[in-house]
Amino acid sequence: MPKLVQAHLKSCEFHRNNPVQFYCKNHNDVICAECKELKHKICMGVVSLAFFQSTETRKDKFDHVTKKLEKYDS
Ligand SMILES: [Zn+2]
Ligand SMILES: [Zn+2]
């Protein structure tokens, strides 16, 4: 099992008070609930990070998201 980054402990880079909770497949980015409402409202591919982490089978995509999360502040 790959190491899971605890996404709910990371705060959004734009909204410091919000944890990152979602992954947008359209933008290939990790986002918070506010970002989802503001910038990803029309995106079809928004899933919860927990869902992504438990279902993504492509290692390159998984690692991409893990790296992004690791850059965020805990
Ligand atoms: Zn945000
Ligand atoms: Zn998006």
* Distance, C-alpha 43 to centroid of its chain: 14
Domain count, the chain: 1
Please report whether residue 63 resides in a domain. yes
> How large is the average pLDDT for residues 54-63?
94
Q: Is residue 21 part of a domain?
A: no
Residue 70: its H or E element: helix 59-71
The rounded Å distance from CA 71 to ligand 2 centre is 19
- Domain assignment present for residue 60? The answer is yes
pLDDT, tens digit, for every residue of 32-41? Answer: 999 999 999 9
- Distance (angstroms) between ligand 2 centre and the Cα of 42 equals 7
* 17 belongs to a structural domain: no
- pLDDT tens sequence across 2-34: 567 777 789 998 999 999 999 999 999 999 999
Give the ligand at the shortest distance from the Cα of 13: 1
Q: Is the residue at 18 inside a domain? A: no
The predicted model scores a pTM of 0.85
Do 19 and 36 touch, CB atoms closer than 8 A? no
